[in-house]
Structure 1
Amino acid sequence: MNIIGRLTRDAEVRTTSQEKQVVNFSVAINDGYRNKQGERIEQTTYFDCSYWISTKVAKILTKGTLVELTGRVSARAWTANNGELKANLNFLASTIKSHGGGKKIENLQAITEQQKNKVAKQEPPDDLPF
């Protein structure tokens, strides 16, 4: 199964009790449709995701990044301490493709833009070598 969505928080690397590392993150998928009255209805679905192959990917998985994930979905239901029934969707990712848009990419773009502005503001030297 493939899903495309934006990260709702920065990825975290955790270590299991068996000393294996996993990257955990959350993705939001927005979907819209029109109801019988013609009103636009927006619906957001959240997935808790995990990636077991490499922890290096956590560096690029920052809040707001658009990602395309391939993997499988599982549902989980439980009863909270207060007796309330809870459920969520888990996505076990086998491949991750980043399409950008996260905090680190935005910061890098801002730094690059600042450097371009500095170069543009520099005046040519008065002394020419010829």
Structure 2
Amino acid sequence: MINRVVLVGRLTRDPELRYTPNGVAVCNFGIAINRPFTNQQGEREADFFNCVVWRKQAENVANYLKKGSLAGIDGRLQSRSYENNEGRRVNVVEVQGESVQFLETRNSGGGGGQRGDDMYGDPPPSGYSGGGGQGQQGGQNLGNNDPFANQGKPIDISDDDLPF
């Protein structure tokens, strides 16, 4: 059997972090994913899902994401039911997140922040500047060594250098 979900969307509310009586962190949040087509009125619709993450991943989501943040979540669907205040049985389907990727930088429009977090939600070492190892070596930040940075000058590439 296969039960795998991969979603990319924006948080619909700030993450809500709580702890179980045993001290295990659990975080709930909603995510909205735009549909790839428009309806008959020409408007885009979206699907909304409730997500749950646990332990260190839950703490990282609560600390680094907020409403509007772009995030990717990898996990599985899980259903549960409970009895509400009116005595009615309520069925719920949630995404149990195993991995959450932060897909924006902190100061971009949607909030959140991609800092190169690994798939288990552990934040990068202090001083990390991203770039796949370009920014940090041996614990020392070497600054911006981006060979593709143009420092505001036009990029001079001949057509022979392009692979297409």
TM (norm. structure 2) is 0.51
Contact 2:15 2:66 in 1 (8 A): yes
Higher helix share: 1
Q: Percent identity of the aligned residues?
A: 31
Question: Paired residue for 1:125?
Answer: none
Deviations for 1:90-121, whole angstroms, at most 9, x for unmatched residues? 1111111111243466xxxxxxxxxxxxxxxx
Question: Is 1:9–2:13 an aligned residue pair?
Answer: yes
Question: Paired residue for 1:49?
Answer: 51
Distance 1:89 1:40 in 2: 29
Work out which of the residue numbers 21, 25, 33 in structure 2 matches 1:21. Answer: 25
Unaligned runs of 5+ in 1: 106-130
Work out which of the residue numbers 110, 114, 117 in structure 2 matches 1:102. Answer: 110
Contact 1:53 1:94 in 2 (8 A): no
Quick check: which has more Rg, 1 or 2? 1
Q: Cα–Cα, structure 1 residues 84 and 30, in superposed 2: closer, same or farther, change >3 Å?
A: farther
- When the two chains are superposed, the root-mean-square deviation of aligned CA atoms in Å is 2.7
Unaligned runs of 5+ in 2: 114-164
TM (norm. structure 1) is 0.62
Contact 1:2 1:69 in 2 (8 A): yes
Distance 2:86 2:17 in 1: 29
Letter in 2 for 1:48: N
Distance 2:43 2:112 in 1: 32
Q: CA offset at residue 14 of structure 1? A: 0.3
Q: CA offset at residue 57 of structure 1? A: 3.1
Distance 1:29 1:87 in 2: 22
Count of residue correspondences: 103
Question: Is 1:73–2:81 an aligned residue pair?
Answer: no
Question: Is 1:31–2:6 an aligned residue pair?
Answer: no
Distance 1:44 1:89 in 2: 17
Higher strand share: 1
Letter in 2 for 1:28: A
Distance 2:100 2:8 in 1: 10
